[in-house]
Amino acid sequence: MAKLDVKNTAGKNVGSIDLDDSVFGAEVHEHLLWETVKWQLAKRRAGTHNTKRIGEVRGSSKKMWKQKGTGQARQGSRKAPHWVGGSSVFGPRPRDYEYNMPRKAKAEALRSALSLRVSEKKLVVVDKFATDGKTKSVATALAALGSAQPTSKVLILDAKDNNLLVRGARNLPSSKWIAPEGINVYDILRHETVVATQAAIKVVEAALKA
């Protein structure tokens, strides 16, 4: 098992924690990370885009002028696609972009993402994340942990019953709080550093232990 220092919100070492190698020391499968991010983003798509076919455009279906003798090109309807305000031929229609991904593949991708952050030394473990509920307090704690440069993005993992942390992290411009039960590959890869409490680490290990 890999050993990692445990810090407090002042940035001081207060102990250590053993990380399960099957979760935090797994092989990094880049293709699985790519597949999982693609799957997550596909689930987010609304699929409400829509264009009108010729039968859905409002207007008269009367022939505009006679077929021959006017000097104009032959036309059949103002609702034809080449007219302004006309229909669309092969435009998008409402659809569902969601598709299924194997449960084991999703779990392996999550282990890969966590292991990647550990190998990069971008996983910071704190004993507990106590705060007064103010955004400034959370930002100060992240700075003390060495995880809050002006352009850095931090993913904070702690239980959802830590209401003060949830409230304090809500307005952070580049960081995000998430409950350990909702941890996902996209959020891990989108944030440069993961800051997790010991309790959150245990929840993640219990869910992903091979």
Please indicate, yes or no, whether the overall pTM of this predicted structure exceeds 0.75: yes
* Claim to verify: residue 72 and residue 108 sit in the same structural domain: no
Q: What is the predicted pLDDT for the residue at 76?
A: 87
Tokens of residue 57, six digits = 């455009």
* Claim to verify: residue 154 and residue 54 sit in the same structural domain: no
Q: What is the predicted pLDDT for the residue at 4?
A: 86
Instruction: Show the 3-state SS of the chain.
Output: CEEEEEECCCCCEEEEEEECHHHHCCCCCHHHHHHHHHHHHHHHCCCCCCCCCCCCCCCCCCCCCCCCCCCCCCCCCCCCCCCCCCCCCCCCCCCCCCCCCCHHHHHHHHHHHHHHHHHCCCEEEECCCCCCCCHHHHHHHHHHCCCCCCCCCEEEECCCCCHHHHHHHCCCCCCEEECHHHCCHHHHHHCCEEEEEHHHHHHHHHHHCC
* Claim to verify: residue 34 and residue 138 sit in the same structural domain: yes
Q: What is the mean pLDDT of residues 14-34?
A: 92
* Claim to verify: residue 63 and residue 124 sit in the same structural domain: no
Please answer whether residues 126 and 165 qualify as being in contact, where contact means their C-beta atoms are separated by less than 8 angstroms. Answer: no
In the structure, what pLDDT confidence band is assigned to residue 93 with cuts at 50, 70 and 90? very high
Please answer whether residues 143 and 137 qualify as being in contact, where contact means their C-beta atoms are separated by less than 8 angstroms. Answer: no
| Per-residue pLDDT reduced to its tens digit, 33-89 | 999 999 999 999 999 999 999 888 988 888 989 999 999 998 888 899 998 889 999
* Claim to verify: residue 87 and residue 146 sit in the same structural domain: no
Domain boundary among 72, 96, 120: 96
CATH number at residue 25: 3.40.1370.10
Beta bridge partners of 16: 5
Which position has the higher pLDDT, 174 or 50? 50
* Claim to verify: residue 78 and residue 164 sit in the same structural domain: no
* Claim to verify: residue 113 and residue 30 sit in the same structural domain: yes
* Claim to verify: residue 66 and residue 157 sit in the same structural domain: no
* Claim to verify: residue 140 and residue 203 sit in the same structural domain: yes
| Per-residue pLDDT reduced to its tens digit, 187-200 | 999 999 999 999 99
Query: What average pLDDT is seen over the chain?
Result: 90
In the structure, what pLDDT confidence band is assigned to residue 107 with cuts at 50, 70 and 90? very high
* Claim to verify: residue 34 and residue 55 sit in the same structural domain: no
Total domain count, the chain: 2
Q: What is the mean pLDDT of residues 21-43?
A: 94
What is the residue range of 125's domain? Answer: 2-45+100-208
In the structure, what pLDDT confidence band is assigned to residue 201 with cuts at 50, 70 and 90? very high
Taking the CA of residue 103 as centre, how many other CA atoms within 13 Å lie in the half-sphere pointing to its CB? 3
Q: What is the predicted pLDDT for the residue at 132?
A: 87
Tokens of residue 180, six digits = 């350990």
